[in-house]
Structure 1
Amino acid sequence: MLGSGGATAAGAGPGSTGPAAAPAAQAAGLHVSDGRLLEANGNDFVLRGVNHAHTWYPGETDALGHIKAKGANAVRVVLSDGTRWTRNDAADVAHVIALCKEHRLICVLEVHDTTGYGEEGAAATLDQAADYWIGIQDALAGQEDYVILNIGNEPFGNTGYEQWTAHTTAAVQKLRNAGFQHTLMVDAPNWGQDWTFTMRDNAAQVFAADPARNTVFSVHMYGVFDTAAEVQDYLGRFVDAGLPIAVGEFGHNHSDGDPDEDAILATAEQLGIGYLGWSWSGNSGGVDYLDMVNGFDPDSLTSWGERLFDGANGIAATAEEATVYGEDPGDPGDPGDPGDPAACEVGYRVVNAWGSGFQGEVVLHNTGSAALDGWSLSWTFPDGQRISNLWGGTATQNGTEVTVEAASYTAHVPPGGSVTLGFTATLDGGANGAPSGFAVDGTGCGTA
C-alpha cells in the first residue's frame, strides 16, 4: 500500500488457476508443499501478523517487539531499493532480520518502490527490485528459516497489468539463478487487488516457472473485496487449485471502498491461509485510520488494532509461533544435568568495508560436551574500532574491550553448534586489525 493507491472494482469473473505443478525437491528452510507454506521440519506455518513501515520510520525498531507482544508470529517489513525512498542497505536489513529473530517473528521483507509500476511513473520495476535483493544477498544468505522475500509491492497499477505474468516470472527466475532458495512472495497487480484476475488466472504458470516451486502469492484486500462472496471466491480458487495464497495487506476501511474485514479474517481462518494487516502505525495521505496503534504507542490501540489483534479470528486467537524458535526461553523446563564445561572457538571476518567503517561477523562455535546457555562473549579490538550496531546480542564497549550478551534466539548453543553475530563499526584511522582475546563467560576461546 502507498497512500491511498487506487483500484477499480469489478464483479467476479470467469477463470481458473488450473492445476499446480508438482513440487520440486524440498527447499531449505521455509518452503511450499502441496499448496501450503511449511517450515523446514514440515510444520504448517500460517502467517498471522501486520505490516510495519520501516523504511519511512527507521527509528521505530521497537515496533517489532511490540508487534510480537500483541501475539503476531510474523511481520511484513517495508523496505526501499533507493528508487523512490532512502535505500535500506545490507547492514540495515541484517539488523531488521536480527530483530525479527530476537522477537521470534518470521520476517517478510518487501521492496515498496515497485508500487503501481506501469501507472505510477516513479515506480521501480520488478527487475530493479530483484537487483536490489541480489545486491544485499550477503545479509539474506542462510536466513531461509526466518525470511520470506516479497519481491516487490503491488507491481502494476491499473495500466500495463497484462505484463504482470512475464515480469513476475522473470524476477523469480532471476533470483533463483542468483542462488536464492528463500520462499518468494509475489504481489498481485491492480494495486495488489487483482480485480482483473490477472494473478488468479496465471498463478499456476508463474508457480511452475519457479525452479524451486517455492513461491507464495499475495493479494491485497481493500475496497474491491467488500463482500464475503468475493473474498471466499478469490481465496477459495487458489486453495482448490493447490496454490499457496496469503492476504499480504488488508484493512477495515479504504478510500476505494469498505472491505469486509470480518469475511477476510473468517475465510483466512477457515482455509488456513495467512494474513498480514496494514499497518502498525505511521499512515498518512488520508488513510491514517489504518493505523493499529496511535503514534507507535503499543498501549494506544485504535479500533482497527483492537479488531485485528483481539477480535474474532484475529491474531491473538489464531497465531502460532514458528517452531524454528523452539521452546519459549521464558519456560526453561528441566535444567537437567549441566554436563561438562563447554569449550569454544571463534571465527572472525570483515564482510564489507568503507572509508570510515566496516561490517564484521563473529561466529561462536561450541566445541564442548555441554550446551552454552545465556553466554557472554568478550574480545579486544586492536585499532580503536567502535561498534555502532550489533545483531545477535547486546553489545557494550569500554574503550577497546567489547562484551556481547546473548539475545534470546542465540542464547542456546548445543554441543557442536554455532551462532553468528553481525555488526557495523566505525574506524579510528585506517587500521582495522582482527580482534583478540575472545572469551566466553571469562574463559578463553580458540580461533576457528
Structure 2
Amino acid sequence: MKRQLTVLGVALLVAAASVLMFARPADAAVGLRVSGTNIVEANGQRFIMRGVNHPHVWFTGQTSAFANIKALGANTVRVVLGSGKRWGPSTDVANVISLCKQNRLICVLEVHDTTGYGEEGAAASLDEAVDYWISQKSALVGQENYVVINIGNEPIGNTNASQWINATTGAIQKMRSNGFEHLLMVDAPNWGQDWQYVMRDNAQTILNADSRRNTVLSIHMYAVFNTAASITDYLNRFQSNGWPLVIGEFGWRFNPNEVDHDTILAEANSRGLGYLAWSWSGNTDPILDMTVNFDPTQLTTWGQRIFNGANGIRSTAREATIYSGGQPTTTPTATPPTTTPPVTPTTTPPGATRACTATYSVVGQWSGGFQGDVRVTAGGSAISGWAVTLAFPNGQTVSQAWNATVTTSGSTVTARNVGYNGSLAAGAGTTFGFIGSWNGSNGAPTLTCTAT
C-alpha cells in the first residue's frame, strides 16, 4: 500500500552474513517454483504474473471481484488478508483459494498486518505473520500449484530497515521447518520500496535462507520510482545477478512526482517480470482505484491503463497451464464481458477453401475512445490461420491491439492471427481486442473473415 516516505539524512550500512542451507535442491519443489530468474509451473512452463491487488480483508463481501478481475484478462490476483493483529483474522482462506481456482487465477496470499513494522506501532512482526500461516496450514497444503504465499506485506518501515534481513531469513526458515512447500514471496523494507537498498544488497542472503530455493523477491514501486532511470537501474541489478523478482505493487503517474508506470509496464514486459498493480477498488485514496465502487464496467483512468493500455494485462497475460490440464494454452485466456450485441457478418469471401466467421462487440466506450473485441470461429473444417477485415463506417481508428497483428488503411483495419492463436479446430474460436478512437458516432464495422 502506498505510504509517504521520510527521507533519512544518512544511509544505513548493512553487513550481510551468508547462511548455509542445502536440505533439498530447487527442482525438488512442488507446484509453482523458482527456476533461475523465472517462475515456472510444475510442468516447467514459465509463468509470468499479470494481475492486480484485491483488498479482500476490508471488503469480504466483494467476492465477485475474482470473476471480474479474471474477465478483464488477469492471470493472478494478490489477495489482502489479515492475521488478526490489526485486521481480520482472515479465516476464509479455503474459500479465497476456491474463488481463485474457480476463476482460473493464481492466488498470491499476503498478510497485511506487517505493514511498516518498526515504524508503525500496531504492525505485526514477520514471525507473527508466519504463526498466522501455520494456523491456516490445512487450507494451504496441497494448493502449491495455485497459491503463492507472500509472507508479509511491506514488513519493515524506514526505522532500522536492516532488521529486515534477520526477520526475513527467520520467517522463511520457520515456514520451511513447518512443512510449507509453496513458492514464497518476500516484500522489501522501507514500506516495500527498498529506497535504502537493503533488499537489493542482501538479496542472495535471503535466497540462500530458503532450503527449498523457492523464494521470489518483491519490490513495491511508488514515488521513490518516479523516473525511468531509477526503475531500470533497480531492475538491472536483479537481472544481472540472476535474482528472481516480481513487482508486487505499483501505482501510476497521476502527477509528475509519482511512479513512472509506463516504464514499469514496458520494462516488465521486455524482461518477462511479473507485476501486480495496486489496486482493484476501495482505497482511502481513490486515485489508486481501478474501478468505481468495484464495478468492472466503470474502469477509472488507472484501470483503463493497467488492463487495456500498452504492455497492460489484456495484451500480455497468459493463463497458468495448470488450468488447461498442464499444457500451454493456445488461445487467449479471458473473454471480456460485452456491453453491446455482437454483429455477425457473412462468412468467408467466395473462392476461399476454408471458412471462418467473426463477431464484433464494444466492451467499453468513453469520450473519444472505445475498446473493441472480436471473436473468430472456424467453420466446419480446421484452419491454420485467419485474417479479419474491419471496415469502420464513421472514420474510427485503431491505436493498439492484442492477440492479433493489425495493419490499417484509412478506416479499414486488417487483423491477422499471431503465432499461438492461428490454428483452430472445426468450430473452435479465439478472440482479439483493440483500443480505438471515434468522433461523432461509433457505428459497428462490416467484418470479413478469411481463413487459411
TM-score by length of 1: 0.69
Q: 1:165-204 alignment to 2 at 5 Å? A: 165-204=165-204
Q: Aligned with 2:283: secondary structure?
A: coil
- For 2:72, which of 70, 73, 86 is the aligned residue? 70
- 1:212-251 aligned at under 5 Å gives the runs 212-251=212-251
Match in the other structure for 1:51: 53
Pick from 311, 314, 325: which aligns with 1:313? 311
Higher RCO by CA contacts (8 Å cutoff, separation 6 or greater): 1
Aligned equivalent of 2:143:
143
| Structure 2 portions without partners, runs of 5+ | 333-452
Report the secondary structure of 2:293's partner residue: helix
Check whether the contact 2:18–2:205 (CA below 8 A) recurs between aligned residues. no
Shift in alpha-carbon separation, 1:256–1:112, aligned structure 2, 3 A: farther
Partner letter of residue 213 of structure 2? Answer: R
Q: Which amino acid aligns with 1:57?
A: F
Residue identity in the other structure for 2:126 = L
Q: Distance in 1 between matches of 2:13 and 2:162?
A: 17
Cα deviation, residue 81, structure 1: 0.1
* Distance (Å, rounded) in 1 between the aligned partners of 2:305 and 2:16: 32
Q: Secondary structure at the match of 2:94?
A: helix
Quick one: distance in 2 between partners of 1:14 and 1:229?
23
Tell whether the 8 Å contact from 1:17 to 1:200 is kept in structure 2 after alignment. no
CA distance in 2, matches of 1:71, 1:10: 43
Could you tell me whether the CA contact under 8 Å between 2:14 and 2:162 is conserved in 1? no
**Residue 303 (structure 1) aligned to one of 276, 281, 301:** 301
8 Å contact kept, 1:9–1:195: no
* Residue 24 of structure 1 pairs with residue 26 of structure 2: yes
Q: Do the aligned residues in 2 keep the contact of 1:32 with 1:183 (CA within 8 Å)?
A: yes
Aligned length: 326
Q: Deviations over 1:384-436 (max 9, x none)?
A: xxxxxxxxxxxxxxxxxxxxxxxxxxxxxxxxxxxxxxxxxxxxxxxxxxxxx
| C-alpha distance in structure 1 between counterparts of 2:254 and 2:16, whole Å | 28
Shift of 1:160: 1.9
The offset of 1:12, in angstroms, is 12
| 1:174-200 deviation per Cα after TM superposition (whole angstroms, max 9, x unaligned) | 000000000000000001000000000
Cα offsets for 1:138-193 (capped at 9, x unmatched)? 00010000000000000111102111110000000000000000000000000100
Distance verdict in 2 for CA 1:5–1:82, change over 3 Å = farther
Q: For the residues of structure 1 that align with 2:82 and 2:187, how far apart are their CA atoms?
A: 16
Aligned-residue sequence identity (percent) comes to: 56
Amino acid corresponding to residue 25 of structure 1 in structure 2: D
Q: What amino acid does structure 1 have at the position aligned with 2:205?
A: Q
| SS class of match (1:97) | helix
CA RMSD of aligned residues (A): 2.8
Secondary structure at the counterpart of residue 114 of structure 1 = coil
- Which aligned pairs between 1:250-289 and structure 2 lie closer than 5 A? 250-253=250-253, 257-284=257-284, 287-289=285-287
Shift of 1:201: 0.5
TM-aligned CA distance change 1:32 to 1:330, over 3 Å: closer
Letter in structure 1 aligned against 2:159: T
2:292 to 288, 291, 294: 294
Distance 1:207 1:329, change over 3 A: closer
**Following TM superposition, by how much is the alpha carbon of 1:11 offset from its aligned partner in structure 2, in angstroms?**
12
**2:410 paired residue number:** none
What letter is aligned with 2:180? F
Q: Give the Å deviation of 1:237.
A: 1.0
CA distance in 1 between partners of 2:18 and 2:44 (Å): 22
Residue 284 of structure 2 is aligned to residue 325 of structure 1: no
Structure 1 position 33 matched with structure 2 position 35 = yes
| Equivalent residue number for residue 61 of structure 1 | 63
2:51 alignment partner, SS class: strand
Equivalent-residue separation in structure 2 for 1:107 and 1:10 (angstroms): 39
Paired with 1:31 and 1:16, the residues of 2 have a C-alpha distance of 29
Q: Which residue of 1 aligns with 2:415?
A: none
Instruction: Report the CA distance shift for 1:97/1:162 in structure 2 as closer, same or farther (over 3 A).
Output: same
Q: Report the alpha carbon displacement of residue 270 of structure 1 after superposing the two structures with TM.
A: 1.1
Provide closer, same or farther for how the CA distance between residues 53 and 186 of structure 1 changes in structure 2, counting only shifts above 3 A: same
8 Å CA contact 1:115, 1:152 repeated in 2: yes
Separation (CA, whole Å) in 2 of partners of 1:160 and 1:172: 20
Deviations 1:328-358 (A, max 9, x none): 8999xxxxxxxxxxxxxxxxxxxxxxxxxxx
Q: Which amino acid aligns with 1:324?
A: I
Distance in 1 (alpha carbons) for counterparts of 2:45 and 2:291: 32
**2:321 aligned partner, one-letter code:** T
Pair 15,304 (structure 1): closer, same or farther in 2 beyond 3 Å: farther
